[in-house]
Structure 1
Amino acid sequence: MSADSNGRPFSGQVAIVTGAGSGIGRATAVAFARAGAHVLGVGRREGPLKETASAHEGIDILAMDICGDGAPATVVSTAVERWGRLDHLINNAGATAVMPLEETDKQTVVDLLSLNVVAPSLLAHEALPHLRRTSGTIINLSSTYGHRPMAGGAHYAATKAAVEQMTRSWALELAGEGIRVNCVAPGPTRTDVMLHAGLSSEAANDMYAYERDRIPTHHIASAEEMAYWVLRMADPAGRHATGQVITVDGGLELI
């Protein structure tokens, strides 16, 4: 689809963005809306979702735990019933956990897999019939630690490695149907994810400082910088790119 007269390449298209209440998800929802798309922002907390929706009139919201029974079907049907189509599924919602092997807890592992691997899989399954009709895209969010070791975070890294392998496998499976599947793997990005993982603000800032020193560009990315790459991977002009994992980490993966 070509851009409209205002240069908005996603005009008339529909995107679902999970984890849209904050961070990269919020920035991605806003970026798609500014590019002309109708956006369904999904997340567990209604308050933060309303803040996201207030950033652009093109964003509608759905407060729902995507790990709940029947949630993926509800998310997809809500978008399709509202706008009559679905063009892009952005599997952004995820969780991290700082959990050394000595402290490994079964429920933490199960919860990580449920949110980071199972929920995106079921959302993609539900979205598939609609993406076939629009030659749509699936964009998964991984991490630089999806393909680098992470001491103290093995299970989080393992879920992101799974996301990257699902991306490649789905891309190969669906290429003949015109559906593209790609992945953006952020490096350290300034969001509230560390706080949700249980770190204090001071500990999170210490970690950002540590990471900044290690990153070749000495830069901690913003959520908006990551949203830029999500939008680029979904752009109709990039229809020949599929099965790609684009790492955006200031060169961290190179060391």
Structure 2
Amino acid sequence: MSGGNMRFAGKVALVTGGRMGIGQAIARRLRDEGARVITAQRGRDAEFEAIEADFADPDCPAVAIAEVIARAGRLDVLVNNAGFMQEARAEDMSLSDWNRMIAINLTAPFLLIKAALPHLRESRGAIINIGSIEGIGCNPHHAAYSATKAGLHGLTRAIAVDHGAEGIRCNAVAPGWIDTDLAEAYIDSFPDPAAFRAGIARIHPVGRTGKPEDVAALVAWLASEEAGFVAGQVWTIDGGRMVQLSLP
């Protein structure tokens, strides 16, 4: 929070996957700026009011939205953050694994938006989808993940076009390398984690990797009335990684 800003006083936000990583940072930022924050994910959330939900189940999104309304009576901000990644080339990935990633990363956000729209219409609310730079480019062995994030970016544009006149704004953020616990565990799996960290820092023009709080700051702005003329955009937040050309 900066300067005692309370942009979300009296507002209700649902953050999926808000128990850890980027989602947790977003939930904390919105709470610190006055929102009543409810998170939804598998397992309990010790920090926030929470709904237990397995977003691989297509019935879960509508139930989660209904629960928010039952508890809080309104919904102003929906942050579709929950997702996962499984590494495999297309020819090595089973259809069931592909379908599970589509279900959680793309279908669940669609169903959450579908269920939330009547309530966001009343509040003239905002939707922020957490995409990825892998919806723009791609790392090896990420066929399904890249496809889901590109799809989520496309869904973002479609919702903005169809519902902007109703006062609903939909935007996405596309984070690059963010220092979450999962990212740290991945780095630690290498024989020389320190060398990997130095290498990953070099591909970022700003000279460092991102923090969950970096993403949270952008999400909070997009959800606020300050971004009232911003709709249907995918905001890359990657320290300049995607614009830096590689050297031989």
**TM-score, normalised via structure 1 length:** 0.88
**How many pairs align?**
239
What is the deviation of 1:209? 4.5
Corresponding position: 1:231 with 2:220: yes
Residue aligning to 1:249: 238
- Look up the equivalent residue of 1:8 and give its one-letter code: M
Give the secondary-structure state (helix, strand or coil) at the position aligned to 2:219: helix
Deviation at 1:103, TM superposition (A): 2.5
The 3-state SS of whatever aligns with 2:50 is strand
Q: Which amino acid aligns with 2:71?
A: R
Alignment partners' CA distance in 1, 2:164 and 2:197 = 38
* Runs of 5+ consecutive residues of structure 2 not aligned to the other structure: none
Provide the rounded CA distance (Å) in 1 between the counterparts of 2:80 and 2:143: 21
Aligned to 1:14: 12
- Give the distance between the partners of 1:159 and 1:213, measured in 2 at CA: 28
- On the 8 A contact 2:7/2:33 being kept in 1, the answer is yes
Residues 36-61 of structure 1 show CA distances to partners (whole Å, capped at 9, x for unaligned) of 00011111021xx11xx1xxxxx311
Structure 1 position 193, deviation (Å): 3.6
Task: For residues 200-222 of structure 1, give each alpha carbon's deviation from its aligned partner in whole angstroms, at most 9, with x where no partner exists.
Answer: 73239576544322122221111
Amino acid at match of 2:16: T
Q: Quick one: which of 219, 244, 250 aligns to 2:208?
A: 219
Are residues 61 and 107 of structure 1, via their aligned partners in 2, closer, same or farther at CA, if it must alter by over 3 Å?
same
**1 CA distance for matches of 2:41 and 2:172?**
20
The correspondence for 2:160, drawn from 157, 163, 171, is 171
How far apart are 1:69 and its partner, in Å?
A: 4.0
Q: What letter matches 1:41 in structure 2? A: T
Aligned pair partner of 2:31 in 24, 28, 33:
33
- Answer yes or no: is 1:45 the counterpart of 2:34: no
Stretch deviating more after TM superposition (149-158 or 97-106): 97-106
Q: C-alpha distance in 2, partners of 1:118/1:187?
A: 22
Distance 1:200 1:241 in 2: 36
Q: Is the 8 A contact 1:219 1:250 kept in 2?
A: yes
- AA in 2 matched with 1:100: R
* Correspondence for 1:145 among 134, 149, 160: 134
Percent same amino acid at aligned positions?
Answer: 33
CA drift of 1:71 comes to 1.0
Partner of 1:61: 50
Secondary structure of the equivalent of 2:189? Answer: helix
User: Unaligned stretches of 5+ in structure 1?
Assistant: 1-5, 54-58
Task: Choose which of 163, 181, 184 in structure 2 pairs with 1:192.
Answer: 181
Displacement of 1:114: 0.7
Structure 1 stretches of 4+ with a deviation exceeding 6 A read none
The 3 A distance-change label for structure 1 pair 243 and 41 is same
User: Cα RMSD between the aligned structures?
Assistant: 1.9
CA 1:103–1:208 in structure 2 vs 1: closer, same or farther (change >3 Å)? farther
Q: 1:81 aligns with which of 48, 70, 86?
A: 70
For 1:23 and 1:90, locate their aligned partners in 2 and report how far apart those are by CA, in whole Å: 14
Aligned with residue 133 of structure 1, among 122, 126, 134: 122
1:203 is aligned to 2:201: no
Secondary structure at the counterpart of residue 235 of structure 2: strand
In structure 2, the residue matched to 1:90 is: 79
Give the deviation of 1:106 after TM superposition: 2.1
Once the two structures are superposed, residues 73-104 of structure 1 have per-residue CA deviations (whole angstroms, 9 ceiling, x without a partner) of 12111111111110010000011122123422
For residues 156 and 67 of structure 1, the distance between their equivalents in structure 2, rounded to whole angstroms, comes to 15
TM normalised by structure 2 equals: 0.90
Partner of 1:24: 22
CA, structure 1 residues 101+70, in 2 after alignment: closer, same or farther (shift >3 Å)? Answer: closer
Q: Post-superposition shift, 1:14?
A: 0.4
State the SS of the aligned residue for 1:16.
strand
| 1:180 partner amino acid | R
Paired position in structure 1 for 2:101: 112
* Structure 2 Cα separation of the partners of residues 174 and 13 of structure 1: 20
Q: For 2:190, give the aligned amino acid.
A: A
Q: How far apart, CA to CA, are the structure 1 residues paired with 2:157 and 2:182?
A: 26
Paired AA for residue 173 in structure 2: V
Q: Give distance in 1, aligned partners of 2:239 and 2:114.
A: 33
